[in-house]
Structure 1
Amino acid sequence: MELGYWKIRGRAQSIRLLLEYTAERYSETFYQCGPAPDYDKSGWLQVKESMGLDFPNLPYLIHDGNRLTQTNAILRYIGRRHDMVGKTEEDHMRLDLLDNQLMDFRNGFSRLCYSADFEKLRPEYIKTALVTIGRFSKFLGEKDWLVGEKPTVVDFLFYELLDCHRILEASLLKTFDNLVRYVKRFEDLPRIKAYMASDRFMRAPLNNTIATFGSE
């Protein structure tokens, strides 16, 4: 498998985590966004329309003649290969719900991080995020994973968002014991633990050079 994305965590980090967890063999093609003031993206733009992608975008995944874009579509593709997309109709409904709810959460976080008014918007965002995280805490309850008895594709989206938010504000998770346990449970998965201890694991940057927060 070939995964293509900017040389940041961003929307590809959950995919990387899933590839590692499933022990898929993969390579990465990194694209660089230049520094201010131009933020040059020519490395990607020069090849964007010539890669045979139906809807050219990053991240992309190329495998066995299949060419996919969109984070959730890529996660589902990998997940289906490893029985990680639920079994029952109830599972599928919960996965569909979480796919979209987590992407809304991700989009809100991205808007904050890339806003020139980051410092002004941050306090209100923290309040809103606390409510959203509380709803996810209630949804998880005392279960180990979001859907079923083992990790599914949405757990990789969820973990990455929780990690990004505790980087944004360390106190955000502290009032939710089940989420603190969830994060540790995820990080203790043997293949995830080994990946995070390796020099291949990308701790930073969260966002691209144009971002106000997380570009370091």
Structure 2
Amino acid sequence: MEGQGSGDQSMAKLTYFNGRGLGESVRFMLAAAGVPFTESFMTEKEQIEKLRTDGKLTFMQLPLLEIDGLCLVQSRSIVRYLARKHGMDGKTPEEKARVDILTEGGRDFLTYFYPLGFLSDEETLAKIKTKALPRYLPIFGKILSASSSGYLVGDSLTYADMILLEALLNTEEFLPGSLNDFPKLQEFKDKISSLPQIKAFLEGPQRKPKNTPEYVATVKRVLDM
């Protein structure tokens, strides 16, 4: 966390590309926390170079969230900041540790989807189907089967729930029917997706579509990939 945010400090501003990637988990958390935010989309290399020159990108990478007078970078750190600030990181030290563990597991699951559009979709989906789903769906299904609240940890929404929701929505979108043998995961997905603030986000313009060729070309151009 370095530098000072600019402009209206009452409104969060997310700087990223006009697509999912690492920025989507931040959007999910902003929605879950009920934090309104604007977006600035990178389309040219000069834009990110200016952010680097201005000292807003500690490790020279996006996403960047300007909030509370801060410039926050590193997507996982941004998500944890929002979770801590809005009481979505567990209520006890034990719960906080559990939330962190399940978030990291959910992030590992979610990471399998990031190459879609950038690498061969056929190979990426085959890897998800043969490696990610058999590993993560049973684990999270078992955890939710033992939950009396329908949440992964405790009796309220945490950032672990949001990471898992993002992964499950991707699973349904790209590999329909994959959750058929996991009723607890389906129940969880429906429960979290139906929360008013989450539902509004998922049905609104700030929820990004799957990676398009135009999006991929823009990312590669801006980042010199």
Q: TM-score, normalised by structure 2?
A: 0.79
SS of the residue corresponding to residue 28 of structure 1 reads: strand
Q: What residue number does 2:137 align with? A: 133
1:16 aligned onto 2:27:
yes
Q: Residue 147 of structure 1: CA displacement? A: 1.2
Unaligned runs of 5+ in 1: 33-39, 212-216
1:202 aligned onto 2:207:
yes
Contact 1:15 1:156 in 2 (8 A): no
- Paired residues for 1:161-200 under 5 Å: 161-198=167-204, 200=205
Q: 2:59 aligns with which of 46, 55, 59?
A: 55
| Cα distance change, pair 172–127 in 1 and its aligned pair in 2 (3 A) | same
Q: Which moved more, 1:74-83 or 1:22-31?
A: 22-31
Runs of 4+ in 1 over 4 A off after TM superposition: none
CA distance in 1, matches of 2:199, 2:178: 23
Contact 1:164 1:206 in 2 (8 A): no
| Cα distance change, pair 53–148 in 1 and its aligned pair in 2 (3 A) | same
Q: What residue number does 1:7 align with? A: 18
CA distance in 2, matches of 1:197, 1:47: 31
CA distance in 2, matches of 1:122, 1:64: 39
2:82 aligned partner, one-letter code:
I
- Paired residues for 1:81-160 under 5 Å: 81-111=85-115, 114-116=118-120, 118-131=121-134, 132-143=136-147, 144-160=150-166
| Cα distance change, pair 197–52 in 1 and its aligned pair in 2 (3 A) | closer
**Percent identity among equivalent residues?**
28
SS of the residue corresponding to residue 27 of structure 1 reads: strand
Unaligned runs of 5+ in 2: 1-11, 220-225
Residue correspondences, number:
202
- Paired residues for 1:26-65 under 5 Å: 26-32=37-43, 41-65=45-69
Give the aligned CA root-mean-square deviation in angstroms.
2.3
Q: Residue 180 of structure 1: CA displacement? A: 0.5
1:160 aligned partner, one-letter code:
E
Q: TM-score, normalised by structure 1?
A: 0.82
SS of the residue corresponding to residue 113 of structure 2 reads: helix
| Cα distance change, pair 25–88 in 1 and its aligned pair in 2 (3 A) | same
Deviation per CA, 1:59-90, whole angstroms, max 9, x where unpaired?
11112332211222111111122111111122
1:173 aligned partner, one-letter code:
L
CA distance in 2, matches of 1:206, 1:21: 23
Q: What residue number does 2:5 align with? A: none
Q: Residue 25 of structure 1: CA displacement? A: 3.1
Q: Residue 101 of structure 1: CA displacement? A: 1.5
Contact 2:14 2:39 in 1 (8 A): yes
